[in-house]
Structure 1
C-alpha cells in the first residue's frame, strides 16, 4: 500500500527533525538555577523542617545512577552476544521521553511541586545527555566526520542566534498578527540554520534541530507559539515519520530471526534495570510510593531512541532487524 519514495524520505527526515525541535522546546532550564531569595519569617521558621536534599541534588544523583546502570547493562548485553555495540546501547538505555513525563506530570498537576520538578529534571537530563553522547558517537564513527572541535561551531551558532534575536523578540511580539506569524517563521529559520550548520560540520542534523528548540525556548515565546508549533509538528510532519518507521519495519523478517526476536524481552528488562537505582535517589527525599512512581516515569522512552536508531542506521552500526 505504501512504498518508499524520495518525497516520503524527505518528509520522514523533516518529521524526526521537528520531533527533536519540539523536544528541545520542552526543556525548562530555569529548573537548573538555584533560587536565592530572601525568606519570609514564616519560611525561615519552617526551614528546619525542610528536606535534607534539594531537588537538583536528587535529580543529578538519580540521573548519574541511570548513566552507570546503562553502561553496565550495555556491557551485559555485549557479553551475552546479543548486541555488540556497547556505547550505542548505553546511549539507548539512558534515554527518557521528556514529552511523556511532562504529559503525566501535567495530568496530575505536579509540575510546580518538588516531586514533579525532580522527575522533570531527570527527564530533561535523559534527553540532553544522550543527545550529546549521540553527537560524539556519530562524530567518532561517521565516515564523513570532521574534527571534533568543529561541533562547537553549532553551539557558537546557537548562541549567536539567541543573542541576535533576544533584543528583537519583544518587537516581534508586538507585530505578530494572525497573518504575519513571525514567531513561527523565526522557529523555522532557526531549524533550517542550525540543521544546516550541524550537517556542515559533520554532526547530525537532529542535534541542530534539538538546539534550535532550546534557543526558541530561551527566547521565551508565548504559549500560543508552542501550541501552533505542536499543531504543525504533531498534526503533519511527525506522524509521517512514525508511519514510515512502521512501513519500514519488516515483521516477517523479524519473526523469522530468533536471535533478533530475543532482543525484545532482553532490552525491555534492560531498560527497567537501567532506571532501577532512581528509586534509591528519590527515596532520599520522597516517600516510597512516590519513589516507585518516579522510577516508573523515568523508564518511559521513545523520542530520542528513534533519533538514535536513525543515526545508527545511517552509520550502518545496526541492522534493520535490531533497529
Structure 2
C-alpha cells in the first residue's frame, strides 16, 4: 500500500468538531458553523500558523464535500413552491440580479479586480438556501408569504448560479456554443434518469425491497442516493461540464422522488449526517486553508475590497427582493433583501474555478470569500431582527431548523 499520511485530515476533523461545539455553548449567537470552520482553516493554514496543509487525502475528501454540498442544496429545491406569480417574480428578480451583477463586474474589471465581469456577476448572483431557511423557520415565516417569496427566489438563484457557472466557466474548456448543446443533451439525459427513478420509486416490488432494507446495515436508500450522486458527477465530467451541476441535479432528483413520502422519515437525516457530519465541513475548512489572506492583508487597498464586495453582494441580490414589497410589505421586503444577499457556498466554488482558469487573482478570491463570510454573519441576524416573530401555539413543538449542521 502507498504511504499516505492522515495527520492533516485529523486536524481538519478536529476543526470540524470544534466549530459547532464551541458555538453550542453560545446558542444566542446566530453564527453559521461553516464561517467558524473557514476562519479556523485560515488561522491554522499557510496564511496563519501553518500547522495544517492540504494534502491528497484532504483534497479528495474536499472534492467529495463540494459534491455533497451541492447535492444537499439540490435536495432542498421544492418544485411545488416554484409556480404562479411567486415564480414569475423570482425569475424576474434573478434577471435583475444578473444585470446588476454585470454592472458590478464591469466596475470591478475597470479597477482590475477581475478579468471576467461575467464571472463576478455569476459569483454574486446566488443565495445560500441552506443558510436562509433556518432564519425563516426561527421567525415563523417559512410557510407565510415572506418565506414563500424568499425560498422561491433563493431556489431560482441557487439553481441559476450553479447552471451558469457550469455552462460559462467549465474548467474542461470548449466554446460556449458547444457547451450549450452539451448542456441540452446532458439535461435531457438527466431528465430521463429522473423519470426512470420516479417510475422505479412507484414499483411495488422494488419499493418493498427498499422499505425492508432501508434501516438495516444495507442502508439501501442511502446507497442508491450516493450512487446517483456519483453517477451524475461522472456524467457531467464526461460531458465536459462542471461536476457541481451533476451533484446539484442529483439532489434535485432525489428530492422529487422522496418528497411527500412518509415511509422513510429518517432518510434525509442520514444524508445530512454524511454531508454535514463529515464531508461538507472538510470542503469549507479546506477552502479556508487555501485562502491567500497574507496577500489580502498586505495592503489597505486590497483589504478594502472585502467591504466593496459585500456592498456589491447586498445590491446585486438585495435590490431584486424589493419586487416583493407589494405583497409582503416594506419591512419584510428589507428582511428578504438581507436573506437573499446571504451567500457563501457558491462564492467559494466560483472563486476556486476563477483562480483555476486565471480569471481571478487569489487575493481577490480571498476578498470575495471574506465578503461571503461577513454576509452569513451579518445579514441573517439582521433579517431575523426585522421579521416579526410568530411563536407556535402552546403545546405545539417549535419546528426544527433545516440544515442545522450549517449553524
Taking structure 1 as the reference length, the TM-score comes to 0.87
Decide whether the 8 Å contact of 2:114 with 2:361 is kept in 1. no
List aligned pairs for 1:71-82, cutoff 5 A.
71-82=102-113
Determine if the alignment matches structure 1 residue 31 to structure 2 residue 73: no
Equivalent in the alignment of 2:310: 268
Equivalent in the alignment of 2:200: 168
Decide whether the 8 Å contact of 1:19 with 1:233 is kept in 2. yes
Superposed CA RMSD in Å reads 2.0
List aligned pairs for 1:73-92, cutoff 5 A.
73-92=104-123
TM-fit CA distance, 1:78: 1.9
Decide whether the 8 Å contact of 1:62 with 1:282 is kept in 2. no
Distance, in Å, in 1 between the alignment partners of 2:297 and 2:149 is: 40
List aligned pairs for 1:1-40, cutoff 5 A.
1-34=51-84
TM-fit CA distance, 1:131: 1.1
Decide whether the 8 Å contact of 2:173 with 2:240 is kept in 1. no
Aligned match for 1:227, one of 261, 269, 292: 269
Cα 1:76–1:251, aligned 2, differ >3 Å: closer, same or farther? Answer: closer
Cα 1:272–1:84, aligned 2, differ >3 Å: closer, same or farther? Answer: same
Distance, in Å, in 2 between the alignment partners of 1:232 and 1:70 is: 34
Decide whether the 8 Å contact of 2:150 with 2:336 is kept in 1. yes
Equivalent in the alignment of 1:44: none
Decide whether the 8 Å contact of 1:145 with 1:201 is kept in 2. no
Distance, in Å, in 2 between the alignment partners of 1:119 and 1:277 is: 13
List aligned pairs for 1:51-66, cutoff 5 A.
54-66=85-97
Once the two structures are superposed, residues 248-306 of structure 1 have per-residue CA deviations (whole angstroms, 9 ceiling, x without a partner) of 22322321144432321111111112134234312121211111111111110012112
Q: Name structure 2 gaps, 5 residues minimum.
A: 1-50, 366-407
Taking structure 2 as the reference length, the TM-score comes to 0.70
Cα 1:275–1:162, aligned 2, differ >3 Å: closer, same or farther? Answer: closer
Equivalent in the alignment of 2:157: 126
TM-fit CA distance, 1:111: 2.1
Decide whether the 8 Å contact of 2:114 with 2:360 is kept in 1. no
Aligned match for 2:218, one of 170, 180, 194: 180
List aligned pairs for 1:150-229, cutoff 5 A.
150-170=182-202, 171=207, 172-175=209-212, 176-220=214-258, 222-229=264-271
Distance, in Å, in 1 between the alignment partners of 2:172 and 2:358 is: 9
Cα 1:279–1:161, aligned 2, differ >3 Å: closer, same or farther? Answer: closer
TM-fit CA distance, 1:97: 0.7
Decide whether the 8 Å contact of 1:20 with 1:206 is kept in 2. yes
SS at match of 1:322: helix
Decide whether the 8 Å contact of 2:101 with 2:124 is kept in 1. yes
Determine if the alignment matches structure 1 residue 250 to structure 2 residue 292: yes
SS at match of 2:65: helix
Decide whether the 8 Å contact of 2:90 with 2:149 is kept in 1. yes
Distance, in Å, in 2 between the alignment partners of 1:144 and 1:11 is: 28
Cα 1:275–1:206, aligned 2, differ >3 Å: closer, same or farther? Answer: closer
Equivalent residues, number: 303
